[in-house]
A = this chain, B = another copy of it.
Amino acid sequence: MDKETIKSSKKAGLPPGTLIHVGKKKSEHSKITIYHYNEKTFSELEFNEAEKIKTPNDNSLVTWLNLDGIHKIELIEAIGKQYNLHALSLEDVLNTNHRPKAEFYQKYVLFTLKMLGIHRSGNKLVLEQVSFILGQDYLISFQEQEGDVFDGVRDRIKLSKGKIREKKADYLLYALIDSVIDNYYIIIEHFSDTIEKLEEQVLENPDENTLTEIQHIKRQFITLRRSVYPLREAISSLLKDDSDLIEEDNQKYLRDLYDHTIHIIESIESQRDVISGLKDLYISELSNRMNNTMKVLTIIATIFIPLTFIAGIYGMNFEFMPELKWKWSYPIVWIIMVIISIGMLIYFKRRKWL
């Protein structure tokens, strides 16, 4: 979170529309892949440099231009020129700190969302921003680095699985967003498992790290929430849009995405409830343990303090202490001590301390 805002301040003071990549450079290479397809044909092209990009002008084909690695600004600029994109929308694509949103321009829609991943260390959320520009017969997608989330969709296009080749660019957008959202479920499952393990740890062996870990997972859910919440609104504004970029008929699919998003948000909220319950559990477990420590101390001290006192009495050196001379004093003192101890134990038993 802190890291994130630090990067945003890099832009402070610059004129708007200045193209600067805000975010960590996640990949060395930048690559543009262009797919052209319709029901019958399919072609795939790959470019590394801005000058070489060529896109056909055949409106009967859907063009999907995918850019991996957004830090190479000249590529972005070249795409911007070719498709006549507004400077502000290119800026949005480059600024990886944007919240998910749908922004309507005259001839296209800009849609950004977060792709979620788990850091190698296993318990940290990694965010990657994915932006889409949906035009009349083209879709441009921007990823921070090469990923494999879109592979399923690529295969469906290549192998003409499902309806994807029969449909236009809007359906492609849906399919890609859908594959990102499907991935969220995996992330939430991952953290659910972590929470379950933490719960066991709290109940069995809570130590000073446990709360730190609870805090950590809570923070991951704060980030998760911030990444997913605005998505609902973004999809909803796609739904409400009356431009003809999205076909009437495909609204069904968007509504499906919307339902998924709400389902994910609800899962996140439930997990947050569980986490805050965990914290209470942890604190009460601490109290419990303190209580047990106190009980042991109290039992031992309460039994031996009176006995030690009795021993102290007969350790006094007065000349005139008749008991010291009696023959049975010593065993009698022992008996008295045993009786006191047993009495105490019975008392503790009754209080359910034993």
Residues of A within 8 A of B (CB): 1-2, 4-6, 8-9, 11-18, 86, 88, 97-99, 101, 103, 152, 156, 161-164, 174-175, 178-179, 182-183, 185-186, 188-189, 192-193, 195-196, 203, 205, 208, 211-212, 215, 218-219, 222-223, 226, 252-253, 255-256, 259, 262-263, 266-267, 270-271, 273-274, 277, 279-298, 300-302, 304-309, 311-321, 323-330, 333, 351-353
Asked whether, in the complex, the Cβ of A189 is within 8 Å of the Cβ of B305, the reply is: no
A179/B274 contact (C-beta < 8 A), A211-B284, A281-B212, A290-B291 known: no
Residues of B within 8 A of A296 (CB): 298, 302
Q: Which residues of B contact A320 (CB under 8 A)?
A: 326-330
CB–CB A9/B185 < 8 A: yes
Q: A88-B256, A212-B281, A314-B317 provided; 20 other pairs, C-beta below 8 A?
A: A2-B189, A2-B193, A2-B195, A2-B196, A4-B267, A13-B182, A15-B163, A16-B178, A16-B256, A17-B163, A211-B281, A222-B273, A286-B287, A286-B288, A287-B287, A290-B290, A292-B351, A300-B305, A304-B305, A318-B324
Contacts of A219 in B (CB 8 A): 274, 277
CB-CB < 8 A to A203: which residues of B? 208, 212
Which 4 residue pairs of A and B lie closest in terms of their CB atoms, listed nearest first?
A: A311-B312, A15-B162, A12-B182, A2-B192
A263–B319 Cα distance when bound, in Å, is: 83
Contact assessment for A99 and B302 in the assembled complex, using a CB-CB cutoff below 8 Å: no
CB distance from A197 to the nearest CB of B (A): 11
Name the residue of chain B whose CB is nearest to the CB of A151. B13
| 29 A–B contacts from the bound complex (CB under 8 Å) | A4-B267, A5-B185, A12-B186, A13-B179, A15-B175, A16-B178, A99-B266, A205-B352, A211-B281, A211-B284, A212-B281, A218-B277, A222-B274, A280-B283, A286-B287, A294-B294, A294-B297, A294-B298, A297-B297, A300-B301, A300-B302, A300-B306, A304-B306, A304-B308, A308-B308, A312-B312, A315-B316, A319-B324, A321-B330
CB distance from A322 to the nearest CB of B (A): 8
Contacts of A294 in B (CB 8 A): 290, 293-294, 297-298
Residues of B within 8 A of A333 (CB): 316, 318
What's the dominant secondary structure at chain A's contact region?
helix
Q: Complex Cα distance A309/B266, Å?
A: 62
Given A16-B175, A215-B281, A259-B99: A293 and B298 interface contact (C-beta under 8 Å): yes
Among residues of B, the one whose C-beta sits closest to the C-beta of A161 is: B15
Q: Which of chain B's residues have a CB closer than 8 A to the CB of A259? A: 98-99, 101
Name, among A5, A296, A320, A351, the residue most crowded by chain B CB atoms within 10 Å (CB to CB). Answer: A5
**Smallest Cβ distance from A108 to chain B, in angstroms?**
13
> Which B residues lie within 8 Å of A301 (CB)?
297, 300-301, 305
Q: Which of B12, B208, B309, B330 contacts A311 (CB 8 A)?
A: B309
- Chain B nearest CB: distance from A309 CB in Å? 5
